Amino acid sequence: MRKVAVIGLDSVPPELLYDKLLDRLPNIRRMYEKGVHGKLRSCDPPITVPAWMVMMTGKDPGQLGIYGFRHRKGPSYGEGYIVNSTHVKERTVWEILSSHGKKSVVLGVPPGYPPKPVRDALIVSCFITPSADRPFTYPSQLKEEVLKAAGGKYIFDVTFRTENRDAIREELFDMTRRRFDVAEHLAKEHEWDFFIMHEIGFDRLHHAFWKFFDPQHPKYVRGNKYEKIDEEYYEMVDGRIGRLLEIFGEDCLTFILSDHGSKAMKGGFCINQWLEKEGYLAFKTDPTSVTDIDKAEVDWGRTKAWGWGGYYARVFFNVKGREAQGVLGPSALASEKKRLTERVLKIRDDAGKRMGNQVFEPEKLYKSTLGDKPDLMVYFGNLDWRSAGTVGHQGMYLSENDTGPDDSVHSMDGVMMMYDPRRSLKGAEVRGAEISQVAPLLLRAFGLDPAKEGIEVRPPDGMVERVA
Amino acid sequence: MGKTLPTKYTTVSIPKTLHARLEKLISTKTGFKSVSDYVTFVLREVVTMHETSQSPDPFSSKDIEEIKARLKALGYL
- Looking at residue A162, what is its pLDDT? 62
* DSSP tally for chain B: helices H, then strands E: 3, 0
Gap between the Cα atoms of A347 and A100, Å rounded: 52
- Gap from B34 CA to chain A (nearest CA, Å): 24
The chain A residue lying nearest B65, using CA atoms, is A82
Of A84, A157, A207, the CB nearest to B75: A207
Q: Is B43 on the interface with A (CB under 8 A)?
A: no
Report the SS3 class of residue B58.
coil
Q: How many CB pairs below 8 A link A and B?
A: 62
Domain containing B22 equals 16-73
| Domain count of the fold of chain B | 1
- Looking at residue A13, what is its pLDDT? 98
Residues of chain B neighbouring A389 (CB-CB closer than 8 A):
77
Residues 6+ apart with CB under 8 A from B22: B35, B38, B39
Please answer yes or no on whether B76 and A310 come within 8 Å at the CB atom.
yes
ipTM of this complex:
0.83
As a dihedral over the C-alpha atoms of residue A10, residue A11, residue A13, residue A17, rounded to 10 degrees, the angle is -40
Of B63, B73, B77, the CB nearest to A70: B77
Every domain of chain A and the residues it spans = 3-263+410-467, 267-405
- Looking at residue A402, what is its pLDDT? 61
Q: Does residue B65 sit within a domain? A: yes
Q: Is B59 on the interface with A (CB under 8 A)?
A: yes
Domain A3-263+410-467 has what CATH class?
A: alpha beta
Q: Does residue B33 sit within a domain? A: yes
Residues of chain A neighbouring B70 (CB-CB closer than 8 A):
157, 159-160
Report the SS3 class of residue B43.
helix
User: Mean pLDDT across chain B, nearest whole number?
Assistant: 83
- Looking at residue B70, what is its pLDDT? 85
- Looking at residue A181, what is its pLDDT? 98
On the question of pLDDT at B5 being above 80, the answer is no
Q: Does residue B8 sit within a domain? A: no
Please answer yes or no on whether A157 and B70 come within 8 Å at the CB atom.
yes
pLDDT by 10s per residue, chain A, length 468: 789 999 999 999 999 999 999 999 999 999 999 999 999 999 999 999 999 999 999 999 999 999 999 999 999 998 889 999 999 999 999 999 999 999 999 999 999 999 999 999 999 999 999 999 999 999 999 999 999 999 999 999 998 766 788 999 999 999 999 999 999 999 999 999 999 999 999 999 999 999 999 998 888 999 999 999 999 999 999 999 999 999 999 999 999 999 999 999 989 999 999 999 999 999 999 999 999 999 999 999 999 999 999 999 999 999 999 999 999 999 999 999 999 999 999 999 999 999 999 999 999 999 999 999 999 999 999 999 999 999 999 899 998 666 555 689 999 999 999 999 999 999 999 999 999 999 999 999 999 999 999 999 999 999 999 998
Q: Note if the bond before A45 is cis, omega within 30 degrees.
A: yes
Please answer yes or no on whether A84 and B74 come within 8 Å at the CB atom.
no
pTM over 0.90: yes
Which residue did the predictor score with more confidence, A1 or B61? Answer: B61
Q: Does residue B43 sit within a domain? A: yes
Of B57, B63, B77, the CB nearest to A309: B77
